[in-house]
């Protein structure tokens, strides 16, 4: 197991059995060996997950920049929507005024 760890190899039952020249059954039946392999395997999994989850400093800058750009674009779009809604309301008002004028003017 030490050689595998030093070499940076993946620690699992098959790798240890192959490196030690023993059977999987031998490793599973020896409680101390089994616990040690399970511990090392769990540590490697945790290390791999931590590496995948830790964003680099560059990632943080990119994420921050993109988030700010998205926030600005949303603000512009909200303003544009508000302006269009006001113009639509004004157009509806004008249509209603024209319809009411047309009703009063018709014979």
- For the residues 34-58, what does the mean pLDDT come to? 76
Task: Tell me the Ramachandran region of residue 106: left when phi exceeds 0, alpha when psi lies from -120 to 50, beta otherwise.
Answer: beta
Q: Max CA-CA distance within the chain?
A: 107
Give the start-to-end residue ranges of the domains of the chain: 1-54, 56-107
Angstrom distance (rounded) from CA 81 to CA 68: 20
How remote is the C-alpha of 57 from its chain's centroid? 17
- For the residues 34-55, what does the mean pLDDT come to? 78
Angstrom distance (rounded) from CA 35 to CA 11: 12
Angstrom distance (rounded) from CA 20 to CA 35: 16
| Angle in degrees, CA 75, 77, 82, rounded to 5 | 95
Please write the tens of the pLDDT for every residue from 56-79: 556 678 888 899 999 999 999 999
Residue 103 confidence (pLDDT) above 70: no
pLDDT, residue 1, reads: 84
Assessment of whether the complete model's pTM goes beyond 0.75: no
């Amino acid at each position: 197991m030490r050689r595998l760890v030093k070499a940076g190899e993946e620690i699992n039952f098959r790798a240890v059995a192959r490196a030690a020249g023993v059977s999987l059954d031998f490793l599973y039946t020896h409680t101390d060996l089994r616990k040690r392999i399970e511990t090392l395997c769990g540590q490697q999994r945790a290390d791999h997950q931590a590496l995948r989850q830790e964003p680099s400093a560059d990632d943080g800058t990119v994420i921050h920049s993109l988030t700010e750009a998205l926030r600005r674009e949303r603000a512009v779009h909200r303003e544009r929507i508000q302006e269009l809604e006001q113009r639509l309301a004004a157009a509806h008002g004008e249509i209603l005024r024209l319809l009411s004028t047309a009703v009063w003017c018709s014979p």
